[in-house]
Amino acid sequence: MALLEARGLIKIFGKLTALNGADLTIAHNEFHGLIGPNGSGKSTLMKCIAGAETPTQGTVTFAGRDITQASPAERARAGMSLKFQITSVLPALTLYDNILLALQAQTSLLNLALSRTRGVLHDKVMAMLEQFRLVDRAHEPASALSHGQQQWLEIAMALAPEPKLLLLDEPTGGMSLEERRVTGELLQPIKARCSLVIVEHDLDFIRDICDRLTVLDQGQILQTGSVQHVQSCPRVQEVYLRRA
């Protein structure tokens, strides 16, 4: 059974149809890229999956459960985690405390009240900082990080609660070439424990890390399949690749 199944998603904003019958299937431990021209509906599709938008029509099933109407918090509890273009890092807090907060958001009020969490979560916080090559800066404020490092901190925060599915909307936006390369390296190991849906304009980046690729155009799925298959599709080349 697939981890995520979106079926026939339609999203209408006033007179504009942003999604027009989009399907998306994500397997366990699959890295899936989402590309398409500006305004083709990529972010809207991500938001319908994450619960930031409710589809006008269609269904979203996650881990065998219909979550079409579920709140973002319910989806998070079910194992979905996301990082959108807008930052959620608290710049005045240390890197350590940013990750601790991300973990505590998933912890029960009882455990928080009993102050059990800080010690228990210490190892997890340090492991995430280590994995994202930020451990030397654990006690610096997040505002001291470069743009790329802030993105890595955010990805670490999204991964800290050990989600089954991570949603990333343009995580490499504004990064240098070297930072993009490192981002790919940092993401690869998480495939062993979760699936990823990633919106990206950088096709080389998608090619390096994704198993499958979906191309959206005007709210519809133009093509989906292996990266190689999708890239060789003449309609995709016509609509997307020549514009990129």
Ligand X SMILES: Nc1ncnc2c1ncn2[C@@H]1O[C@H](COP(=O)(O)OP(=O)(O)OP(=O)(O)O)[C@@H](O)[C@H]1O
Binding-site ranges for ligand X (CB under 6 A): 13, 16, 18, 36, 38-44
Instruction: Closer to ligand X by CB, 43 or 150: give it.
Output: 43
Instruction: Closer to ligand X by CB, 71 or 108: give it.
Output: 71
CB of 231 to ligand X, least distance (A): 19
Instruction: Closer to ligand X by CB, 12 or 233: give it.
Output: 12
- Spatial contact of 50 and 80, defined as CB atoms under 8 Å apart: yes
Residue 203's Cβ-side half-sphere holds a number of Cα atoms within 13 Å equal to 16
CB of 94 to ligand X, least distance (A): 32
Contacts of 76 (CB under 8 A, 6+ apart): 106, 161, 163
Instruction: Closer to ligand X by CB, 35 or 95: give it.
Output: 35
- Spatial contact of 48 and 6, defined as CB atoms under 8 Å apart: yes
Q: How far is CA 235 from CA 7, 18, 241, in A?
A: 23, 20, 9
CB of 187 to ligand X, least distance (A): 20
CB of 56 to ligand X, least distance (A): 12
Instruction: Closer to ligand X by CB, 85 or 143: give it.
Output: 85
CB of 122 to ligand X, least distance (A): 38
| DSSP string over 24-84 | EEE-TT-EEEEE-STTSSHHHHHHHHHTSS--SEEEEEETTEE-TT--HHHHHHHTEEEE-
CB of 30 to ligand X, least distance (A): 21
Tokens encoding 104: 């505590």
CB burial of residue 66 (10 Å; 0-12, 13-18, 19+) = exposed
Instruction: Closer to ligand X by CB, 85 or 111: give it.
Output: 85
